[in-house]
Amino acid sequence: MSGVFRFKQFEVDQTGCAMKINTDGALLGAIAGEGSPQNILDIGTGTGVIALMLAQRFAEAKIDAVEIDNSAVLTAGKNFKNSPFDERLTVYDTSFTSFFEQHSDKKYSLIVSNPPFYINSLASPQKERNTAKHAGKYFFKELMQGLAQHLTPDGQCWLVLPVDTAALVKDKTADVGLHLQKIIEVKSFENFEPHREIVVFGLMHNIPSKFSFVIYSDISVYSDQYIHTLKDFFTIF
């Protein structure tokens, strides 16, 4: 079963998912959230890996996962069912806009997403991968509006984005009443420029904090920071 990625407490079958498990999703699943969030929403769950990692970290949390691609929905549902956290995980076969419309009263203390990355860039010829990696012109505007309406007063939204996309998203927050609270710059090596940002938004206004996250200490050698963060999940640590 080469399509199965084995974690310490669960397995993730990637069959039928255009976007496979990657560093961005793993990092988000391992660090997103503060305190003890009780209600969590994962937008664009794909294989369900981020939702599963959050279920492991937050033992009391109920987690909703939204996915627009039907094949991925089936895969995520199977991964949830086969995990120790099945009773706390629910996958919805719908877009986040439709989900928000159908559940207008739902509020979440934590919302996470590893969303489509490339705004107005050249689309991939593969339909499923195109949906997973390319964002339409209004995608992030609609996303930020929905987040602002469905966060609890002290809730947070964590997004992992390329640096240029993160800059565009940060510019849209004030218009919908969200405030930037934290930036985590993700670098391959200490002396490299960041290639991703994990940005954290909420309804509460405070002075944003900024941190760095370095993946490698040398070529093919994971940093202590990366190992410490993923040691509860990856079997190689």
The model's pLDDT over 28-83, given as tens digits with 9 standing for 90+, comes to: 999 999 999 999 999 999 999 999 999 999 999 999 999 999 999 999 999 999 99
The model's pLDDT over 2-36, given as tens digits with 9 standing for 90+, comes to: 589 999 999 999 987 877 899 999 999 999 999 99
At residue 129, the pLDDT reads 45
Query: Does a structural domain hold residue 148?
Result: yes
Q: Backbone dihedral region of 177: left (phi > 0), alpha (psi from -120 to 50 degrees) or beta?
A: left
Count of structural domains, the chain: 1
The domain that contains 169 carries what CATH number?
3.40.50.150
Distance CA 132, CA 126 (A): 10
pTM of the model: 0.91
Residue type, 85: F
Residue type, 217: S
What is the distance, to the nearest Å, from the Cα of residue 143 to the centroid of all Cα atoms in its chain? 13
Q: Is 13 exposed, middle or buried (0-12, 13-18, 19+ CB in 10 A)?
A: middle
Query: Does a structural domain hold residue 56?
Result: yes
Query: Does a structural domain hold residue 237?
Result: no
Query: Does a structural domain hold residue 62?
Result: yes
Q: Which structural domain range is residue 64 located in?
A: 4-230
